[in-house]
């Protein structure tokens, strides 16, 4: 009997504590909802941009973000969204996205988001002053990572695209090396003796010639046939070799 009374006392002491613990679970589950502030909405904006950005872009960044409304109450659950406008991310600049947010498939609000899209990537720079007509070597260039949004389509981003090419104009240290500033170096120059090749079907004939103007591979030059003394138009195909069309 003494042991029974002791058990009753212990049970009564623990009963209030057990009751409070049982009530804590439902209170936690009811506590729901989240206010989507500017930072949260910018994450959604950035995610949508990332899903639509061209694959060749190394990196992008967003500036001057804003939204209407500035914040949004979102209930607890699985968030999804769908766009109500078309977004083009192939070019940088100001972007507008209108999206409907939904939680567990139920729409909970529409938000309009604005931001400036910047493309970032690798650029080639002159490592020192380089004179016009210089054949670019690895020591002439260095790389940098920067905002390339306003640099145009002539941008190149790997040293291999410049090394071995000839400059059209002089560059100062730190100048960007663009593709339109480069050309293939001449393989033949005025006064060079070359072999003139002419092909027709399976027949090929050749003759000695003298170049009258410089030319890079693929370019058309004037060449004098030293056998016939005629001046011909020929395409540079290799060092010391040009080809005429029959």
- Per-block mean pLDDT, blocks of 10 residues, the chain (246 long): 40 32 26 75 94 92 96 88 92 96 91 97 97 95 96 93 95 97 93 93 91 93 95 94 90
Give yes or no: residues 103 and 44 share one domain. yes
Residues 193 and 236 in one domain: yes
**Is 17 among the domain residues?**
no
- Token pair recorded at residue 215: 């030319």
Domain check: are 41 and 114 in the same one? Answer: yes
Please tell me the predicted confidence (pLDDT) of residue 29. Answer: 23
125 near 144, Cβ under 8 Å? yes
Evaluate whether residue 2 is within a structural domain: no
Domain that holds residue 143: 120-183
41 and 113 both lie in a single domain: yes
Q: What local confidence, expressed as pLDDT, does residue 74 receive?
A: 87
Instruction: State whether residue 129 is helix, strand or coil.
Output: coil
Residue 22 within any structural domain of the chain:
no
Residue 93 lies in a domain: yes
Query: Looking at residue 229, what is its pLDDT?
Result: 94
Domain total in the chain: 3
Rounded distance between C-alpha atoms, residue 194 and residue 187, angstroms: 11
Tell me, yes or no, whether 192 lies in a domain.
yes
106 plus 136 within the same structural domain: no
Does residue 139 sit in the same domain as residue 104? no
Q: Which two tokens stand for residue 208?
A: 């000695």
Statement to judge: residues 39 and 86 lie in one domain? yes
Flag whether 4 is in a domain.
no
Instruction: Answer yes or no: do 173 and 196 share one domain.
Output: no
Residue 174 lies in a domain: yes
| Residue count of the chain | 246
Domain boundary among 63, 86, 119: 119
Q: Using the 3D structure, point to which of 183, 209, 227 is the last residue of a domain.
A: 183
Are both 107 and 143 inside the same structural domain?
no
Write a three-state SS string for the chain: CHHHHHHHHHHHHHHHHHHHHHHHHHHHHHCCCEEECHHHHHHHHHHHHHHHCCCCCCEEEEEEEEEECCCEEECCCCEEEEECCCCCCCCCEEEEEEEEEEECCEEEEEEEEEEEEEEEEEEEEECCCECCCCECCHHHEEEEEEECCCCCCCECCCHHHCCCCEECCCECCCCECEHHHEECCEEECCCCEEEEEEEECCEEEEEEEEECCCEECCCEEEEEECCCCCEEEEEEEECCEEEECC
Task: Report helix, strand and coil shares of the chain as percent, to nearest 5.
Answer: 20, 45, 35
Q: What is the CATH number of the domain that holds 228?
A: 2.30.30.760
pLDDT at site 33: 62
64 and 102 share one domain = yes
State residue 3's pLDDT score.
42
Q: Do residue 104 and residue 56 come from a single domain?
A: yes
Whether the pTM exceeds 0.85: the reply is no
What is the SS3 assignment for 142? strand
Contact indicator for 190, 215 with CB cutoff of 8 Å: no
Joined together, the tokens standing for residue 154 give: 């002539």
115 and 125 within one domain: no
Helix (H, G, I), strand (E, B) or coil at 212: coil
| pLDDT attached to residue 143 | 97
Q: In 31-157, where does DSSP find H-type helix? A: 38-52
């Amino acid at each position: 009997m003494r042991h029974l009374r002791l058990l009753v006392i212990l049970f009564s002491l623990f009963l209030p504590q057990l009751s409070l613990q049982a009530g804590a679970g439902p209170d936690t589950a009811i506590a729901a909802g989240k206010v989507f502030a500017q930072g949260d909405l910018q994450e959604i904006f950035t995610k949508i941009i990332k899903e639509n950005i061209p694959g060749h872009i190394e990196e992008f960044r967003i500036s001057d973000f804003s939204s209407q409304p500035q914040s949004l109450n979102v209930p607890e659950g699985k968030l999804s969204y769908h766009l109500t406008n078309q977004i083009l991310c192939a070019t940088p600049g100001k972007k507008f996205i209108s999206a409907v947010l939904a939680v567990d498939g139920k729409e909970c609000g529409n938000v309009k988001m604005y931001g400036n899209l910047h493309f970032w990537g690798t650029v080639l720079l002159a490592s020192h002053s380089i004179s016009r007509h210089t054949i670019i070597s690895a020591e002439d260039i260095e790389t940098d990572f920067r905002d390339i949004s306003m640099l145009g389509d002539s941008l190149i981003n790997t040293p291999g695209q410049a090394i071995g090419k000839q400059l059209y104009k002089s560059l100062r240290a730190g100048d960007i090396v663009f593709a339109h500033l480069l050309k293939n170096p001449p393989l033949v120059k005025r006064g060079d003796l070359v072999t003139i090749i002419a092909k027709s079907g399976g027949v090929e004939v050749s003759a000695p010639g003298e170049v009258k103007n410089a030319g890079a591979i693929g370019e058309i030059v004037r060449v004098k046939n030293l056998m016939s003394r005629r001046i011909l138009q020929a395409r540079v195909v290799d060092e010391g070799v040009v080809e005429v069309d029959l």
